[in-house]
Structure 1
Amino acid sequence: MSETNNETDNVMQLLQSSQLESIELGLVLADLLQIDTTKFKEDIEIAFSLISDNQEILISEKIWKVKTQKRLNLSGYNLTFIPPPIKYFTDITSLYAEKNQLTYLPAEFGSLTKLETLYAPTNQLTTLPPEIGHLKYLYHIDLQNNQLTSIPLQIIDCTNLTKLWLEDNLLSTFPEEVSKLNNLEVLNLGKNLLREIPIGITQIIQLKELHLHHNLLAVILKELFNLTNLITLSLDQNQINYIPTDIGKLTQLVTLHIDRNLIGSIPAEIGLLKRLETLDINSNQLTSLPLQIGKLTNLKHLAVDNNYLHSIPSSIGNLKSLTVFYLQANHLTSLPPEIANLTNLSFLSLEDNPISNSEKEKIKTWLPNCKINFE
C-alpha cells in the first residue's frame, strides 16, 4: 500500500473514531488528501496529534503545513512533546495544550508570532525556550501546575503581556527585569518556592492582582506597597509574622488574603482600606483586632477564625455590609452588643469558643435573621 493510501486510511480511522474530539483536524487532513467530508461538522477546535488505541498517529510534514487556523487545541492527548512542524501554524492566535506530559516547548515555538494566548497548565514543563521573546502579541500565559524552575529573561520582550499565571511550579527566583512588563496586570506566583518577594515585581506599578500565596515568604517588602493599583493581594500560607503599617497605602484593595501565617497583630492603618470587601486573616496568632477595623464599611467577608482573640471591638458594629463572619476557634466568651447592628449578616461561626449558654442566647436575640454556628 502506498504512503498516500496509508495516510488516507489513518485519516478515515480518525474521522470514524469515537475518541475523536476535534473533528476539524479530520477536516483539515481530509482536505489535503481530497477525501469527501460533507457528512462531518465544521467549526470544531483543531488538534494535530491524536491517540488511537494508545498509539500515536504519525502525520507527514506535508500534512502539518496548515496555515489558516486561529485556534489550536492539543489538550488532553498525553503528548510528551510538540513536534517542530508547529512552526507552520504561523496564523494561530491561541494555543491550548493542557493536561499532557510536555517537558519542554520547542524552539520553533518562537515562529508563532501572532500568538496571543498560551494555555498549557498541568504538564511537566521545566523551562521555556528563549524564543518566547519573539511573541510580541502574547498577552495571556497560563503555565500553572508544571515543574518550572526558572523563567527566561526574554519574557520581558513579551511587551503586551497582561496576565501571567505560574502557580504551582518550582520557582525559587524570578527575573528582576520583569519590571519592564509595563502592561502586566495579573501575576500569579502562588505555590512556588520563593523565600522573598522578587524586587522586580514591586516595580510593576500597573499590577491589579498579585498572588504570592503558599510560598516560603517571611517578610513583606516595604516596596510592595508601591503597587497602589492592586485590587487583589494574596499572601496566605507563608511564614509572615508582621504586617507593615504601609499596608494603608493600598487604598484600591478589594480582596486581601493573609491567612495561615504567623501574624501577631493588625496595624491600625488597615482602616485606610475603604474599598476592602474580603479580609482573610484566619489561622494566625492574633490576640486582638484594632478599633480601626470598624472603618472597613464595605467589608462583606471577614475571617479571623483560628486565632487567640479574647474580645471583639465594639467598632465591629459599623460593618453593616458584612454578610459572612468567621470567628470560630478563638478564646471568646462574649460578643459586643453592637454586633446587633450587622443586619446583613447571614452567617456567623462561633464554634470552639468558651461562650456560655446565656451569652449564646443574647447573640441569637441580637441576630435573629443570621445563621449562627455554636457547635
Structure 2
Amino acid sequence: MSGSGTDRTKAGRDLEGPVVILVEPQLGENIGMTARAMGNFALSRLRIVKPRDGWPNIAAQRAAAGADHILERAELFDTVQAAVADLDLLFATTARAHDQAKPVVAPEGAAREITAHIAGGGRAGILFGRERAGLENDEVALANRIITYPVNPGFASLNLAQAVLLMGYEWFKLATAGALPFEMPERSERASQHQIDAFFENLVRELDKVEFLRPAEKRDTMLVNLRNIFTRMEPTKQDMHTLHGVVMAIAEGRKGPAKGGVLDGEQATRLRALLAEHAQGTLTSESGTVRGLARMLRRNPTDAERILWQSLSRDRRFAGQFKRQTPVGRHIPDFVSFVHRIAIELINPGETEVIVAERAARGTWLEARGYKVIGMTTADVERDLQTELAKVEASLRK
C-alpha cells in the first residue's frame, strides 16, 4: 500500500515488539525503507551496526516516508555483540544453510515464540544481514534460532526492507489477533421473505409483459433459477428498494423522462401545449424556460419524431443539414435547416386549439423571414416516410 493509506488523525499502535538489528547496511535508502516497513507494523526499536555510509544519513530520511521517529531513536553500535548484549532471545535471518546445529523456523513460527517471550518479560531481537553477503557464520552463531523464508529456492534474495516487512507482518498479526484497520460499513437489515416475495412477483409480472418466460414448459425452471439468484445474495431492505426501482425504471423507460425515452402522442401533445401557451406571453428574459421545454421534447421524441430524425440525420440527402427542436428566435420548430431555411412541423392527432394557433403564428413568423415551412402529420410519417422525405428533397432543390 502506498502512503495514501496513512491517516495522521489516527493513533498508532504502541506495542512492545522485537528489536530490529541491521548488520552493516550499505545504503541509506535501505535503512529508510526498513524504518518505513517497521512503522507499518508498529516495530519501533532499530539498532544499526556500522552503517557503510555513516549516520545520520539524509538518504535514509528521504526513504523513510514519514517513519522519522524510528530513525531518530535508532541506536548505533560498532559490533554485533554489543548490539545484542542485552537480549535473551535472538533470531538470525538467512537464506543460506550455515551448517549450525540450531532450530530453523519460518517467520510465523518465530513470531509466535517472540510474542510469548516478550509477554513473559523477555527481550527479543532479530538480526538482518548485509544486502550482498548476508550474515557471517560467527554472527549467526550468536543467535538462538535461525529464521528462513519459504521463498523460491532459485531466487531467494530479499531486499533488506522486504525481509523486515515480512517478519514484522507475522509478528504484528499475532500481537493484534489479526484485527483489520477497518471493515465493511454496517448494512441495512436483511430483507424479509415478504419483501423478497413482493419484489419477485413484480419482476415476474414485468417479465411476462415482454414474454421473457418462455417456452411455457421451461417457465417453472426459469422462475426457480431467477429466485435463487436473489436468495443467494441475501439482500437487505435497501437492496430490495433499489431493485424495485430498477425494474420499474426499465418497465416504464419508454415513457419516462430519461434521455432516449419516447413520449406517446398524448404526452407529446400536453408538453407541446404547455410550450405553446408559454410562448404566447414569453418575454426575452424568459427564453431560458422555453429552451428548457425544448430540451425536454428533444430528449423525449415521439415515435414519428424519432423515425423522421433518424432519416434526416442518416440519409445522404439531408445528413448534417437539419437540427431538431432548435429555437429560431422565440420559436421552436420541430426540425430546421438554417442552410436551406426550411422548417418542418409535425402535426400530432388531437392537438388543442392553442397548439394549432401557435403553429400558425410560428409559420407566419418563419415565412416572413424567408423560411419555407413543411407540415407533416405523424400518421403520414409512420405510414409512408419516403413520400414525406421526397417533399423535403423537392424543397431543397427550389
Bin of the TM-score, shorter chain as denominator length: under 0.3
Higher helix fraction (1 or 2) = 2
Query: Using CA pairs below 8 Å that are at least 6 residues apart, which structure has the higher relative contact order?
Result: 2
Greater C-alpha radius of gyration: 2
- Structure 2-normalised TM-score? 0.23
- Structure 1-normalised TM-score? 0.24
